[in-house]
Structure 1
Amino acid sequence: MNLLDVKGLSVEFRGDEGRHDVVRDVSFSVPENKCVALVGESGSGKTVISRAVMGILPAKSRITAGQILFRDNRKNGDFVDIAKLPPAGPAMRAIRGDQIAMIFQEPMVSLSPLHTIGDQIAEAAKLHRFVGSKEALELTKDMLRLVHFPEPERAIRTYPFELSGGLRQRALIAMALICRPSLLIADEPTTALDVTIQAEILKLIKEVQAELNMTLLMITHDFGVVTNMADEVVVVYNGEIMEKGSVEDLFLTPQHPYLKALLNAVPSLSMEPEERLVPIRPIKPRTHTSDLHPHPVGKAHAFRGTSLIELEGVSKTFTFKNLRGKKRRGMTTALDNVSLTVRRGECLGIVGESGSGKTTASLAMLRAFPLTRGKITYTTEEGPRDIQGFNEKELFQYRKRAQIIFQDPFSSLNPRRTLNEILQEPLVIHRMGDSLSQAARIRELIDLVGLSPRYLRRYPHSFSGGQRQRIGIARALALNPEFLICDEPTSALDVSVQAQILNLLKDLKDELGLTYVFVSHNLAVVDYISDRVAVMCKGKVVEVGPTRQIIDNPIHPYTKALLKAVPEPSLDHKLDFGSLEGTSSSDPTQWPAPYRMRYTTVPYLVEMETDHWVCAPGMEAMRDIVGLGGSHI
């Protein structure tokens, strides 16, 4: 029996440029107590369909055709056509939030920063279950316990900014479930979460679905999530359904070329070393040499494998202060005695959970802040230099050598500048060439990342997510650096655009002789692009080695836990939700011997295999006996 039937749904958006059909003749069903996944690229119409079901379409849109039939189990099981109900009318308000609830994609944006978690969750109970404040608060605590929220008594008094991404997502789930809806719509519920938190959230949704006999409509572009959660799949492209059926049929015998193309664009841990992703719209970089600033390709290849940047015993402690910035409220150690070597011409991947110190370590390499302890040396033509000792002029020159590609391409681009101005800015700041040579360099850069010169007068808002990320890459390459920090450059992109960007980065690295530090929580992405991997936890490096050794033969329990939590896009390698309890293993005091560490323990790295180092403080006493040496990685 179906809980939801969407029949011939069409939705149009009206704007200054006229009317545009964003959803066309979409039909699918959601059976009771099952999970149906809507998959497709960004802009395919997935979220518009879900918002039509919720009755929360934007003001400039309207349903032009079709039906959205929902079985109202609280009214004798009769079907209600949501498409005909006024979105702000009492009938739709009675359904929305009570019988149909939604988990939105970005928890920080979806939660009010001015109200406590308890108040926001209790509000839904007051509106739909007609209870008083005291009873609503008790229901809120019960729901927080159901979603495994730690210390519900204290949690109801916390604000969203005081919670991690995983806990904010749990709060949103509790808010959606407090009225025990028949249908839960989950819009990319795990996109911005690291693998262990993602696995916990997926397990939680499955448990709650079973306990409440709930039906789930999941919107995602992550095929690993689809294989682990969905019973049926609906593939959407450009507002139309390309293919639909059971998850087994679509993964084992895909029929439509678009679905086959999507599956070919998904990175997985089972890929062969030389295997290449196949994006739907490939980009071929066109590299040239520029008179403005020669590419350092020859030097990079000649010295490939030698040390370019080295961290030795690096520690960084941040101090929390009160609002006036005077009184200390506490301290946190973001980096704890980190030692790493980045070799010329390689891609070093840094992985770990949120808060593990990945981004802090990468920013330390750019001298974004002073270190608490330790030294970072960068090998220049004059030899190794401590970047903390650079004077203002030397640091200015270092900025040419080392650049960063930011995680969010939209936030990192100035919305008031055109593409031409964005790419010209670093050339002007570093006084590289006159206006004619700068214009030539800008055209070379956009050609390099596969964009058209006709885009030069456009502003960032008029580009897609993938195009904005390519602009960020072009800007990072403007000064012709030899070292690039890639901070989660594909985490917000769908699979086809992600494949575009990953292939582009690989090609640029090979053709321009670049050196990368690639920060990510997606181990499949790191496996695809990295030569070596460093695993971080609680500010410490716990394992470092060649990528295939780390993936195929993880030694540290934390690394094993990370790999265990990766949702593979394969029906043969589903997550074992029953064994995910405590899977994060992110507490060093709970690791088994010889890996266990107190928070004051100095990390000690032991070479277990050739170039494969593992943090095992318990082996320090054995080093003279077994001949193990340590910590130069």
Structure 2
Amino acid sequence: MSLLDIKGLTVEFRGDEGHQEVVRDVSFSVPENKSVALVGESGSGKTVISKAIMGILPAKSHITSGQILFRDNRRNGKLIDIAKLPPAGPAMRAMRGDQIAMIFQEPMVSLSPLHTIGDQISEGARLHRLVGRREALELTKDMLRLVHFPDPERAIRAYPFELSGGLRQRALIAMALICRPSLLIADEPTTALDVTIQAEILKLIKEVQSELNMTLLMITHDFGVVTNMADEVVVVYNGEIMEKGSVEDLFLTPQHPYLKALLNAVPSLSMEPEERLVPIRPIKPRTHQTDGHPHHAVNAHEFRGTTLVELDKVCKTFMFKKLRGKKRKSITTALDNVSLTVRRGECLGIVGESGSGKTTAALAMLRAFPLTDGKIFYATEDGPRDIQGFSDKELFKFRERAQIIFQDPFSSLNPRRTLNEILMEPLVIHQIGDNHSKAARIRELTDLVGLSQRYLRRYPHSFSGGQRQRIGIARALALNPEFLICDEPTSALDVSVQAQILNLLKDLKDELGLTYVFVSHNLAVVDYISDRVAVMCKGKVVELGPTRNIIDNPIHPYTRALLKAVPEPSLDHKLDFSSLDGAATSDPMQWPAPYRMGYSTVPYLVEIETDHWVCAPGMDAMHDTVGLGGSHI
């Protein structure tokens, strides 16, 4: 029996530029107590369908035809056509949040920064259960315990900014479940979360679904999530359904070319070293050099493998004033005696959970802040130089050689500047070339990242997420740098656009002789693009080595836990939710010996096999634990 039946749904957006159908003749069912995944690229209409079910479509959108039939089990299974209900009417308001609830994509934006977690979660109970504030807070505590929230008594008084991303997402889940709905809609509930936290959230949703006999409609572009969560799959493209069926049928025998193309664009840990992702809309960079610009990367191939950047026992601490009791201060150690080398022409991946220090380590290489201790050497024409000792003039020149691609492709671009002005800015600041050569360089940059020169007068808001990220790459390459920091450049992108950007970065690295530090929490992405990987936890490097060695032979328990939590887009490699232990994953005190013993001391990296290093207190302990002879050290 179906809890939800959508029949011939068509949604139209009406604006100054006319009418546009964003959902066309969509029909599918959501069986009771089952999980259905709605998958597709950004802009395919997935979220519009979910908002139509919730009755929260934007003011300029209208349901022009079709039915959204919901079975009201609290009224003897009566069928209600949501499409005919006024969105702000009493019937829809009574159903929304009570029988149909939604977990929104971005937990920080979805939670009010002005109200406590307790007040926001309890609001649903007070509206739909007609209970008082005290009873509503008790129900809130019970729900927080259900979603494994630590210390519910304290949590109800906390504000969203005091919580991590994973805890904010748990708070949203508790808010959606406070009235024990029949249907839960989860809109990209794990996007941009660490793999271990993502696995915990998925495990939590499955547990709650089973306990409350709940039906789940999950919206996602992550096929790893689909294989682990869904019973049935509906594939949407450009507002229309391309294919639907059981998860087994769609993964084992996909029929539609669009679904096959999506599956070919997904990176996985089982890919062969030379295997290449196949984006739906590939980009072929056209590389050529213009006279009058610095050529830092031109001769990089000649020095490939030599050290470009070296971190020597780098420490960084941050001091914060505590909100309660302003005289008290807290110190956070972001980097704890980190030693690393980055070799010319390679891509060094840095992985770890939020707060592990991976982005801090990458930004330290650009001298984005002063270090607490240690040195960072950069290879110059005069030999290795400590970048902390650069004069203002030397630092200014260093900025030409080292650039960054930011995580969020929208907030990192000035909304008041056109594409032409954004790409012109680095050339103007560094006083490179005349007007004619600047214009020529901008045309080259747009060609380089596969953007049309017709877009030069456009502003960032008129570009898609993938196009904005390509603009960020073009801007980073404007000065012909030799060293690029890539800070989670694909975390906000769907799989097809992600494949575009990853292939583009690989091609640019090979053709321009670039050196990358690629920061990510997505191990499949790091496996695809990186030559070596550094695994970080609590500000320390716990394992370091060639990518395939780390993936195929992880030694450190933290690395093993990260890999165990990766949702593979394969029915043969589903997550083992019963073996996940999020609390112990990143807690060094719960690691087995000798890793636990070594963590409280200065990091001591032991070479387990050629160029494969693991953080441990001493060789003897490693021999006993790993079972390796002295010849491997």
Q: TM-score, length-normalised on structure 2?
A: 0.97
Give the secondary structure class of the aligned counterpart of 2:271. Answer: coil
Residue equivalent to 1:129? 129
1:448-467 to structure 2, matched below 5 A, reads 448-467=448-467
The CA distance in 2 between the partners of 1:528 and 1:599, in whole Å, is 29
Cα deviation for residue 202 of structure 1 reads 0.1
1:475-514 to structure 2, matched below 5 A, reads 475-514=475-514
1:592-611 to structure 2, matched below 5 A, reads 592-597=592-597, 600-611=600-611
The CA distance in 2 between the partners of 1:619 and 1:122, in whole Å, is 54
Residue equivalent to 1:105? 105
Cα deviation for residue 583 of structure 1 reads 6.9
1:165-564 to structure 2, matched below 5 A, reads 165-321=165-321, 327-564=327-564
Cα deviation for residue 292 of structure 1 reads 2.7
In structure 2, do the counterparts of structure 1 residues 545 and 186 end up closer, same or farther at CA, with 3 Å as the change threshold? same
Cα deviation for residue 590 of structure 1 reads 1.4
Letter in 1 for 2:215: T
The CA distance in 2 between the partners of 1:566 and 1:322, in whole Å, is 35
Note if contact 2:594-2:621 (Cα within 8 Å) is conserved in structure 1.
no
Note if contact 2:118-2:156 (Cα within 8 Å) is conserved in structure 1.
yes
Letter in 1 for 2:563: L
Note if contact 1:502-1:529 (Cα within 8 Å) is conserved in structure 2.
yes
Give the secondary structure class of the aligned counterpart of 1:443. Answer: helix
In structure 2, do the counterparts of structure 1 residues 339 and 13 end up closer, same or farther at CA, with 3 Å as the change threshold? same
In structure 2, do the counterparts of structure 1 residues 345 and 194 end up closer, same or farther at CA, with 3 Å as the change threshold? same
The CA distance in 2 between the partners of 1:483 and 1:245, in whole Å, is 46
Residue equivalent to 1:44? 44
Cα deviation 1:454-481 (Å, max 9, x = unaligned): 0000000000000000000000000110
The CA distance in 2 between the partners of 1:344 and 1:585, in whole Å, is 33
Note if contact 2:313-2:338 (Cα within 8 Å) is conserved in structure 1.
yes
The CA distance in 1 between the partners of 2:361 and 2:339, in whole Å, is 10
Give the secondary structure class of the aligned counterpart of 1:497. Answer: helix
RMSD, matched Cα: 1.6
* Structure 2 residue 142 is matched with structure 1 residue 142: yes
Note if contact 1:606-1:629 (Cα within 8 Å) is conserved in structure 2.
no
Cα deviation for residue 537 of structure 1 reads 0.2
Give the secondary structure class of the aligned counterpart of 1:592. Answer: coil
Note if contact 1:295-1:512 (Cα within 8 Å) is conserved in structure 2.
no
The CA distance in 2 between the partners of 1:581 and 1:612, in whole Å, is 26
Letter in 1 for 2:107: P
Matched positions, count: 629
Cα deviation 1:353-407 (Å, max 9, x = unaligned): 1110000000000000000010000001110000000000000000000000000
Structure 2, unaligned runs of 5 or more: none
The CA distance in 1 between the partners of 2:115 and 2:196, in whole Å, is 28
Structure 1, unaligned runs of 5 or more: none
Cα deviation 1:41-82 (Å, max 9, x = unaligned): 000000000000000000000000000000011111100000
Note if contact 1:39-1:219 (Cα within 8 Å) is conserved in structure 2.
yes
The CA distance in 1 between the partners of 2:465 and 2:299, in whole Å, is 34
Give the secondary structure class of the aligned counterpart of 1:285. Answer: coil
Cα deviation for residue 296 of structure 1 reads 3.9
Cα deviation for residue 599 of structure 1 reads 6.0
The CA distance in 2 between the partners of 1:583 and 1:619, in whole Å, is 28
The CA distance in 2 between the partners of 1:577 and 1:621, in whole Å, is 31
Letter in 2 for 1:565: A
Note if contact 1:322-1:328 (Cα within 8 Å) is conserved in structure 2.
yes
Cα deviation for residue 503 of structure 1 reads 0.1
In structure 2, do the counterparts of structure 1 residues 328 and 381 end up closer, same or farther at CA, with 3 Å as the change threshold? farther
Cα deviation for residue 434 of structure 1 reads 1.0
Cα deviation for residue 299 of structure 1 reads 2.0
Cα deviation for residue 298 of structure 1 reads 4.5
Cα deviation for residue 601 of structure 1 reads 1.4
Cα deviation for residue 127 of structure 1 reads 0.3
* Structure 2 residue 92 is matched with structure 1 residue 92: yes
The CA distance in 2 between the partners of 1:579 and 1:364, in whole Å, is 36
Cα deviation for residue 600 of structure 1 reads 3.9
Residue equivalent to 1:581? 581
The CA distance in 1 between the partners of 2:307 and 2:390, in whole Å, is 19
The CA distance in 2 between the partners of 1:8 and 1:471, in whole Å, is 38
* Structure 2 residue 52 is matched with structure 1 residue 14: no
Cα deviation 1:599-621 (Å, max 9, x = unaligned): 64111000000000000114378
Note if contact 1:319-1:328 (Cα within 8 Å) is conserved in structure 2.
no
In structure 2, do the counterparts of structure 1 residues 91 and 314 end up closer, same or farther at CA, with 3 Å as the change threshold? same
Residue equivalent to 1:23? 23
Give the secondary structure class of the aligned counterpart of 1:617. Answer: coil
Note if contact 1:265-1:499 (Cα within 8 Å) is conserved in structure 2.
yes
Cα deviation 1:196-233 (Å, max 9, x = unaligned): 00000000000000000000000000000000000000
Cα deviation 1:387-436 (Å, max 9, x = unaligned): 00000000000000000000001000000000000000010000001111
Give the secondary structure class of the aligned counterpart of 2:595. Answer: coil
Note if contact 1:192-1:491 (Cα within 8 Å) is conserved in structure 2.
yes
Cα deviation for residue 192 of structure 1 reads 1.2
The CA distance in 1 between the partners of 2:475 and 2:68, in whole Å, is 46
In structure 2, do the counterparts of structure 1 residues 64 and 409 end up closer, same or farther at CA, with 3 Å as the change threshold? same
Give the secondary structure class of the aligned counterpart of 2:299. Answer: helix
The CA distance in 2 between the partners of 1:514 and 1:393, in whole Å, is 24
In structure 2, do the counterparts of structure 1 residues 75 and 340 end up closer, same or farther at CA, with 3 Å as the change threshold? same
The CA distance in 2 between the partners of 1:150 and 1:437, in whole Å, is 59
Greater Cα shift, 596-605 or 338-347 = 596-605
In structure 2, do the counterparts of structure 1 residues 599 and 269 end up closer, same or farther at CA, with 3 Å as the change threshold? closer
The CA distance in 2 between the partners of 1:585 and 1:54, in whole Å, is 37
Letter in 2 for 1:393: K
Cα deviation 1:160-191 (Å, max 9, x = unaligned): 00000000000000000000000000000000
* Structure 2 residue 65 is matched with structure 1 residue 53: no
Note if contact 2:377-2:384 (Cα within 8 Å) is conserved in structure 1.
yes
Greater Cα shift, 434-443 or 588-597 = 588-597
Give the secondary structure class of the aligned counterpart of 1:74. Answer: helix
The CA distance in 1 between the partners of 2:431 and 2:620, in whole Å, is 52
Q: TM-score, length-normalised on structure 1?
A: 0.97
Cα deviation for residue 323 of structure 1 reads 7.0
Cα deviation 1:479-534 (Å, max 9, x = unaligned): 11000000000000000000000000000000000000000000000000000000
